[in-house]
Amino acid sequence: MSLSNLNIAVTASRRAAELAQVVRSQGGKPYIAPTTGIKREERTAIEVSKFIELSKESKPDYVVFMTGPSVYSLIDLSSELGKKEPLIKILQNSILVARSPKTQMSLFNFGLKPILIPNLDYTSVGVLKLFEGMGVTKKRIAIVWHGTSSPDLIDGLERLRNTIIEVFVYEYSETSERNETRVLESMGFKTFLSDDTQVLDLVRNINLGNIDAITFTSPPSVRGLFNFAKRHELWETLQNSLNSFAIVVAVGPSTARELDKNGVMVDVVPSVFKMKPMIDALALYIKRNALNEKVSGISQRRK
């Protein structure tokens, strides 16, 4: 059956168009319904200003960027604050670490290098392993977070007796704000806005068995969906429907853990935590599990 004519839900916002194209390339029909977005509160600019001033004084040895948008958002905010020049100088005098190739490319786009990157494991765990492998200890490490942080990464770096400086350059939101999507669009992403009507339609279609598989590319996308369901008293029916009808796909372990916290069994996690391998793994799962209750149920519904 592969993905031919199957309805594949895309809950991502930032890379929804890219993921949808991967789904189409395998014959699937993407159903785009973002369950999370980004926002910047007034305090974000204040925190960024403090971060730049603190970094000027403490001169971090390493600066870690966790996402591509965090690069653009930090530099965008520094420009608004009139502090872009000192920020760039700080970055030029530090060893830069990018969590993933996408993040690395974002730094390259601003002429920033050299840049260290984990070996294949593009997660916070991979970042920690990178520092452990280099034996980095008693250094000042600045971390530019996206909407969430990783306590395990902080704890691991502090166990190596490093000093940590943190800053959040945006927050995750259950709706996308139009004025904030410019950060993503400046990176070349076609951004899809999240809204309650779309998410409600998604939940209804999952409950009706109209969604054959649903993809999650981050823990916030999971939280956004289930927070919405709780607000509308649909949490239990959504949980039951996902466990009964839809093939649940998580891009990596942290996303899978978030689904588990919400009582949802994850069917597919790729060995490489990226979008195309995720869809490849979904297609392979369907091919190899024809007698699986969910897969056979999909076959029956499609007749």
Say if residue 180's pLDDT is above 70: no
When the pLDDT of each residue in the chain is averaged and rounded to a whole number, the result is 89
**pLDDT score, position 47:** 93
Whether the upstream peptide bond of residue 114 has omega within 30° of 0, thus cis, is yes
User: For residue 202, is pLDDT > 60?
Assistant: yes
Q: Which of 35-49, 111-125, 133-147, 177-191 comes out lowest in average pLDDT?
A: 177-191
Specify the pLDDT at position 60: 97
Query: Which pLDDT score is estimated for 188?
Result: 54
Q: What confidence category does residue 210 fall into, taking pLDDT thresholds of 50, 70 and 90?
A: very high
pLDDT band at 177 (very low <50, low <70, confident <90, very high): low
CA distances from 18 to 109, 192, 227, 236, 292 (A): 20, 11, 25, 31, 29
> pLDDT of 259-277, one tens digit each?
999 999 999 999 988 899 9
Does the pLDDT of residue 1 top 70, yes or no? Answer: no
Structure confidence at residue 40 (pLDDT): 73
| Residue among 156, 133, 132, 131 at smallest CA distance from 63 | 131
DSSP 262: T
**Given this model, what pLDDT does residue 61 score?**
97
pLDDT of amino acid 179: 52
Distance, in Å, from the CA atom of 56 to the CA atom of 151, rounded to the nearest integer, reads 25
Q: Region 67-87: what's the mean pLDDT? A: 92
Instruction: Please check whether residue 160 is in contact with residue 137, taking contact to mean a CB–CB distance below 8 angstroms.
Output: yes
Q: Taking the alpha carbons of 225, 227, 231, 236 in that order, is the dihedral positive or negative?
A: positive
Predicted confidence (pLDDT) per residue in 143-161, tens digit: 999 877 889 999 999 999 9
Is the pLDDT assigned to residue 282 strictly greater than 70?
Answer: yes
Distance CA 55, CA 8 (A): 44
Domains and CATH numbers, the chain: 7-35+190-302 (3.40.50.10090), 41-169 (3.40.50.10090)
Whether the pLDDT of residue 251 is over 60: the answer is yes
What's the mean pLDDT in 74-87? 94
| DSSP character string of 34-77 | ---EEE--HHHHHHHHHHHHHHHHH--SEEEE--HHHHHHHHHH
